[in-house]
Amino acid sequence: MPNKHFCQGPECHTYTTSDRFLKSKGIIRGRYAYAKIDNGFRTDSGYYISEADKYFCSQGCKMDWLNVNMESIARRTLPPFIEHRRISEGYEKRTTTHEGWQGKMYTSSSIQKIGVDNNAD
């Protein structure tokens, strides 16, 4: 059992960042929360944290969760708690090579969804 919760952000597992991408399986995974479960109000480096940082990986995920669950909070019902790491499948890392403005060759990598876009014109 890890000593951190999984991020509760509703879309955390869909953001294509390099730390969420698992190349061997071609999936995007949700992150762990920022702070450890058993921390007090300070991180290992001495920064003060809020209790909410034990449930979210970023301020963006925290605000996304609040936007989705505000109605449940207003009705005084419990919002769902995510106990497993969520994933999004069908991604690959693509590397492209291009020429820069001084004639040097550069490579850049991006994570892209693979498959057919049914909404293309």
Positions in the chain whose pLDDT score sits under 50: 1, 116-118, 120-121
Q: Which amino acid is at 98?
A: H
- Please name which of 78, 83, 72 lies closest in space to residue 8, comparing C-alpha atoms: 83
Closest by Cα among 52, 7, 11 to 33: 7
Tell me the pTM: 0.65
Beta strands in the chain (DSSP E): 21-22, 27-29, 87-89, 91-99, 105-113
Instruction: State pLDDT tens for residues 84-102.
Output: 877 777 778 888 898 888 8
